[in-house]
Amino acid sequence: MENLFDLSGKTAVITGGTGVLCSQMAIKLAACGVKAAVLGLDEDQGQLIARQIRDQGGQAIGLVADVLDKESLNVARDIVLSEFGSIDILINGAGGNKKEASCSADLDFFSLPQEALEWVFNLNFLGTILSCQVFGQPMVDQKKGSIINISSMASLRPLTNVLAYGGAKAAINNFTSWLAVHLNHNYSKDIRVNAIAPGFFLTKQNEFLLVDEETGQMTERGKRILDHTPMARFGTPEDLLGAVLYLASEASSFVNGTVIPIDGGFSAYAGV
């Protein structure tokens, strides 16, 4: 069993690696012997996470990269290859939502600004495609690799209000299946592309929907989510780590083109 999950010596690129969820993925992978490249827009935070990993005996570098700027991704890729020699795992964690792209009491569907919709869709969907183009190329060259996209519960069951975010994550699901087939048919049978679909986690991108900014109390939306989650709690970053290790390792060697919900049963429950 240990051999199935052995990741020692592999190299992982984690976009959005400075965020709450993906930073924990980077730290966990490094603890399993993976050389971690932590990518994000916040240079100080990236360096902090990389230093934390190194202080714990792991190997890591922090790099500034914008998933919507292909040239910055190319620069990061070249640095990773120079430092670590390969790219075996790609986690596409860069993404997010914003108030201006979500319906609310103050902003109805007909008033959602185009700029906000484009920002959310491009960050989540186009950013994933560009990262796969740049960091997937070394996998093609070495004929092996695992790509893990970050989807969302909003992609599987349309959720009220989060129009752009849900649409972008649904597009990621389709792209995950498409890319898995495309890479196998055209380049290598040993490159896998899968996604995880987290349920509801208290992060910066959705906290404004779940917790009232003024009172700090659960919003009505937050209460409804917990009512429809059989495990009756929000997720924690640690809840994602098992699935990430599974998809990154040979334990999932015949798993390809899938989207795995990690949601406490939310997607299984019809509400009755």
- Catalytic residue list: 165
CA distance 103 to 112: 7
- Distance from CA of residue 57 to its chain's centroid? 25
CB 37 within 8 A of CB 80: yes
CA distance 262 to 246: 13
CB 269 within 8 A of CB 230: yes
Q: What share of the chain is helix, strand, coil (3-state, %, to 5)?
A: 50, 15, 35
- Max distance between CA atoms of the chain, in angstroms, equals 55
CA distance 89 to 108: 40
Placement of tokens 């909003």 in the chain: 154
CA distance 107 to 121: 18
Beta bridge partners of 14: 38, 91
Give the residue from 3, 4, 6 showing the smallest Cα distance to 253. Answer: 4
CB 12 within 8 A of CB 49: no
